[in-house]
Amino acid sequence: MNRQKKLKRSVVGGGAWLTALTTLGGVLLAGAATAAPIEKRVEIDQRGDFVMIGNTLGYDCRAATPNPVVGTVGTCSNITGILTLSDSAPDVFWRSQEPNATSATASTAITPSNARSTAILQVPNGAAISHALLYWAAKGAPDDTAMFERPGGFSEEVTAVRTLTEGNFYQSVADVTALVAAHGSGAYRVGGFNVTDFRNVSDEVNFAAWTLVVLFRHPAHPTRNLVVFDGLHLVSSGNPANARLDGFLVPNAGFDAKLGVLAYEGDGEINGDSLLFGTAPLGDDDRLSDGVGTLTNFFNSSRTAAGTPVSVVGDLPQLTGGLRSMGGYDLDIVDITGRVTRGQTAADIRASSTQDTYYLGAFVTSISTYKPDFTFSTKTVTDLNGGNVRRGDILEYTIDVRNAGNDAAINVRMSDVLPVGVTYVPGSIEVVTGPNAGAKTDPADSDQGEYDAATRTVTVRVGTGANGTTGGRLAINERSSVRFRVRVNDDATGTLSNQAFVTFEGDQGAPEDTQPTDGSSDPGSQPTDVDIAECDTDADCPRSHPHCATTHVPVVCVECLTDAHCSRSEPSCNQTSFECECPTGPGTCGGAGGAGGTGGAAGAAGAAGAAGTGGTAGAGGVAGAAGSGGAAGAGGVAGAAGAAGSGGVGGSLAGAGGIGGAGGSLAGAGGSLAGAGGVGGTAASGGSGGAAASGGTAGAAGAAATGGVPGFTVEGGSCSCAVPAGESKQAPFALALGALGLTALWRRRRRS
């Protein structure tokens, strides 16, 4: 896929494996040469598990590499006389969905920018995805963006939340939870990140690959302690990586445990590399096997699960998963159930080597834990006034506190800090179901609930035995619901976002923990949101914004919903701001005047008509229309007064002044002169001002002849949009000035 890369980078210092992990989840210590702190990505206790998928972007052309199950390998080298390369790293790039939707091709014709591969995600039916992390790694300039796609679905460039480097290599990780939660199981494709071009190059250390780690919730699964922590650590002789995990409690029976590993550049033919799991100090008896390599060759360019090679139908390329098949990429899930014991609360991991050199990218652990689980607790809201949530409405919040874990919970408390924009309704706390049901008082006294006005916090202690100071006990699958009310403030706007929290301990010794309630949105445990509406119907809206936009979130009063709600001066309703505005481009004006040639000048005024013998002078000619952007034509000159006929009387009226041409960039000038008074005749009125164009100036008034009526400025045309600076929109004012001139003439004649 050809595309221009973003220039931004997010690089965190060289060499990376963590020296200390934050609370509840382990410490990871690296060799002194490259030790650097990094983030533990995720730790959560929930009913569920994890899934890891991924694929390589490169193919190693050596004869020992297994042929792909699906995928065609073309030319491996363009070097004359060399058909294959003998180095232990990839030699050509893969491109999935090439040449068709069910194929993949690898050859020297595939460039790094076009390289991509596909893998199939499969999560259990009924599962809810709580976390999804996308990793990509390669040799090359660090890149914090990659193309993440669902063939036939979405295509999105994602940005890393962290990029780590080790020498000439890098690994980036992006949070793609929302995308994966929305699309679920199926094919995912990744490419478009920086990779050093390894075509026609002999290089023993090279790789390009991606991985998707998904954590999910499922009510049928046991409660598990799930931990993801990541980095990019060079493991070599004398430079191991060590991790310590804690925060779990292995049940007395019916438990399981597994370890996921992501690594790069492990060679199938080089021994000396091991992965160990157990309780420190670790020894040879703690070494793990992936099922395809030996205990001293764990990192061997394979993909395995529970000791078996993984080859997934739909992956493109679909590889065997066996030894040397993955192009310098290891993706393994190891069953470690036999390495943990009941009551265990911590474990140690070590990756080491005496010969091979490889890069450790991530660990993922899933260990059954014996503790309560309140991640299925929910919070809902009801508007007791009905309709849209409006200022002054009463909202009723209901929190369903549910223990879905495998141990009873003790000292269970629910707390809820009210959002800004609401006021607590006194006396509204109530335990609806479960032990101690009934109304509770607001002060902190002997009953199970209270409201603290200083901190705006509602607290309710639930479960059997709860009292005024201590929470009670909720057995496995037991629940209790709590509700209270608030009033929406008169000045509240926007969204009310609120989330309650459940704090508890395990009956069998699990330490205190706090878990949030889940709102109605996905993924994960989200707040419960309410949008405050300004209106229900148009009748609720002010004259300045008379229409209720019921499809807008939140519902608001707006100036317009359609063009029909707008005036001629601003005829277009913007469907984003719901305001009337001018459309893009110049305004248009009403009035006469044909368009001239582009940039052309207006035609000259027509000549005045000749006076008939004893008759009335002809009217002045009408000015030509202005060209687009051109100047208006001048007003025609008034016709001369009619000559006296034989024995007749002079023409009674001189010709009227010519009418100014329609404005182009300027308005037409007014008729140049009023007609001269005929013998015994009356002077004609001055010419009318030209029509104003968009951006034009009104025509000048014609000059009055002796005894004639003074001319006056008339705002020509009615502009529908965008009158620029310098042009008046006060046509009535101009007409008033003309009227004043007529009045003055009438008064002079009366005096004479």
CATH, residue 423: 2.60.40.740
Going by pLDDT thresholds of 50, 70 and 90, the confidence category of residue 408 is very high
* Cross-strand partners of 128: 217
Domain count, the chain: 4
Of 163-172, 361-370, 708-717, the range with the lowest mean pLDDT is 708-717
pLDDT computed for residue 339 by the predictor? 94
Cis peptide before 281 (omega within 30 of 0): yes
- The pLDDT, as a whole number, for residue 520 is 62
- Is residue 450 located within the same domain as residue 314? no
Summarize the confidence of residues 601-624 as an average pLDDT: 41
Q: Any idea of the CA torsion for 618, 619, 620, 625, to the nearest 10 degrees?
A: -130
Determine the Cα–Cα distance for residues 752 and 737; give it in Å rounded to an integer: 23
Q: Are 514 and 502 in contact (CB under 8 A)?
A: yes
pLDDT at 116: 98
Measure the CA–CA gap between 727 and 667, rounded to whole angstroms: 10
In DSSP terms, 351 is beta-bridged to 241, 275
Question: Which tens digits make up the pLDDT trace of 167-179?
Answer: 999 999 999 999 9
Torsion of CA 476, 481, 482, 487, to 10 degrees: 140
Residue 522's pLDDT band, with cuts at 50, 70 and 90, is: low
CB 715 within 8 A of CB 700: no
Indicate if the pLDDT at residue 451 is higher than 50.
yes
Give the per-residue pLDDT at 244.
83
**Mean pLDDT: which of 90-94, 354-358, 521-525, 677-681 is highest?**
90-94
- Say whether both 222 and 337 belong to one domain: yes
Least reliable range by pLDDT among 62-71, 88-97, 537-546, 675-684: 675-684
Answer whether 17's CB lies under 8 Å from 36's CB: yes
Asked whether the beta carbons of 678 and 652 are under 8 A apart, the reply is yes
Compute the average pLDDT of residues 485-502.
94
Q: Is residue 416 part of a domain?
A: yes
> Buried b / exposed e across 686-698, counting CB within 10 Å, b at 16+?
bbbbbbbbbbbbb
Positive or negative, the CA dihedral 59, 64, 68, 74 is positive
Q: What digits encode the pLDDT tens for the residues 163-217?
A: 999 999 999 999 999 999 999 999 999 999 999 999 988 777 899 999 999 999 9
Neighbours of 10 (CB within 10 A): 15
- Length of the chain (residues): 752
Choosing from 554, 581, 608, the residue where a domain stops is 581
Of 237, 246, 188, residue with least CA distance to 213: 188
DSSP codes of every residue in 101-146: TT-EEEETTS-GGG-EEEEEE---TT-EEEEEEEEEEEESS---EE
Is 53 in the same domain as 141? yes
Q: How far is it, in rounded angstroms, from Cα 301 to Cα 264?
A: 8
User: Which secondary-structure segment (H or E) carries 650?
Assistant: none
What is the rounded distance in angstroms from the CA atom of residue 320 to the CA atom of residue 308?
Answer: 11
Instruction: Classify strands 308-309 and 513-516 as parallel, antiparallel or unpaired.
Output: unpaired
Q: Are strands 329-335 and 358-368 parallel, antiparallel or unpaired?
A: unpaired
Segment 149-162 shows an average pLDDT of 96
In terms of domains, do 429 and 355 share one?
no
Indicate the residue among 368, 389, 423 that finishes a domain.
368
Least confident of 138-142, 457-461, 728-732: 728-732
* Inter-residue contact 393 to 384 (CB < 8 Å): yes
Count of H helices and E strands in the chain? 2, 42
Does pTM surpass 0.75? Answer: no
DSSP 239: B
SS3 286: helix
Strand order in 346-353's β-sheet? 27-30, 241-246, 346-353, 273-278
- pLDDT at position 521: 58
Position 621 in a domain: no
Domain annotation covers residue 620: no
Per-residue tokens: 300: 């061997």
Question: Residue written as tokens 């939870």?
Answer: 177
Distance (Å, rounded) from C-alpha 33 to C-alpha 598?
74
* Per-residue confidence (pLDDT) for residue 186, from 0 to 100: 98
* pLDDT score recorded for residue 647: 34
179/268 same-domain check: yes
Q: Is residue 417 one of the residues assigned to a domain?
A: yes
Domain that holds residue 159: 12-368
Nearest in space to 267 (alpha carbons), one of 327, 208, 352, 331: 327
Tell me the C-alpha distance between 689 and 700, whole Å: 6
Distance, CA of 313 to CA of 68 (rounded, Å): 12
Residue 76 sits at φ, ψ, to 5 deg, of: -95, -15
Residue 9 has pLDDT above 60, yes or no: no
CA dist 431 and 417 (Å) reads 17
Q: What's residue 86's pLDDT?
A: 66
pLDDT band, very low/low/confident/very high, at 579 (cuts 50, 70, 90):
very high
Q: From CA 543, how far away is CA 540, in angstroms rounded?
A: 10
Same domain, 200 and 327: yes
* pLDDT confidence band for 512 (50 / 70 / 90): very high
DSSP secondary structure letters along 454-495: TTTEEEEE-SBT--SSS-EEE-TT-EEEEEEEEEE-TT--SE
Decide if pLDDT at 402 tops 60.
yes
Q: Which is it for strands 329-335 and 303-305: parallel, antiparallel or unpaired?
A: parallel
Same domain membership, residue 253 and residue 126: yes
**Per-residue pLDDT, 248:** 85
Tokens 């590399």 sit on residue: 273
Q: Whole-number mean pLDDT of the chain?
A: 78
Residue 618, domain member (yes or no): no
pLDDT in tens, 32-90: 333 344 567 899 999 999 999 999 999 999 888 999 999 999 988 765 444 446 677 89
| Per-residue pLDDT, 49 | 98
Answer yes or no: is pLDDT of 18 > 60.
no
DSSP string across 134-156: EEEEEESS---EEEEE-TTS-EE
Q: What is the mean pLDDT of residues 600-619?
A: 41
Domain end point (choices 307, 340, 368): 368
What is the C-alpha to C-alpha distance for residues 138 and 146, in angstroms, rounded to an integer? 12
Main-chain dihedrals φ then ψ at residue 328, nearest 5 degrees: 80, 25
- Indicate the pairing of strand 128-139 with strand 208-217: antiparallel
Higher pLDDT, 33 or 305: 305
Which of 517, 552, 518 is CA-nearest to residue 532?
552
Asked whether 489 and 421 are in contact (CB, 8 A), the reply is yes
Q: Are residues 146 and 278 in the same domain?
A: yes
Considering the domain boundaries, does residue 657 fall inside one?
no
Q: Are residue 430 and residue 295 in the same domain, yes or no?
A: no
pLDDT of residue 238: 87
pLDDT of residue 387: 86
How far is the C-alpha of 482 from the C-alpha of 386, rounded, in Å?
A: 21
My answer on whether 483 and 570 are in the same domain is no
What is the CA 165 to chain-centroid distance, rounded? 27
Same domain for 457 and 336, yes or no, is: no
Q: Is the pLDDT assigned to residue 599 strictly greater than 50?
A: no
- pLDDT in the model for residue 721: 63
Report yes or no on 7 lying in a domain. no
Q: What is the pLDDT of residues 234-288, one digit of tens each?
A: 988 888 888 888 878 888 888 999 999 999 988 877 888 999 999 999 999 999 9
Which pLDDT belongs to residue 130?
94
Contact 15, 234 (CB under 8 A): yes
The pLDDT value given to residue 524 = 58
Average pLDDT on 514-523 reads 76
Residue 517 has pLDDT above 60, yes or no: yes
Does residue 539 surpass a pLDDT of 70?
yes
pLDDT tier at 527 (50, 70, 90 boundaries)?
confident
Q: Is residue 746 part of a domain?
A: yes
Residue 384's identity, in one-letter code, is L
Q: What percent of the chain has pLDDT over 70?
A: 70
Token output for 471: 């929470």
Beta bridge partners of 136: 172, 210
Q: Please tell me the predicted confidence (pLDDT) of residue 204.
A: 78
Selected residue with higher pLDDT from 7 and 748? 748
Does 525 lie in the same domain as 546?
no
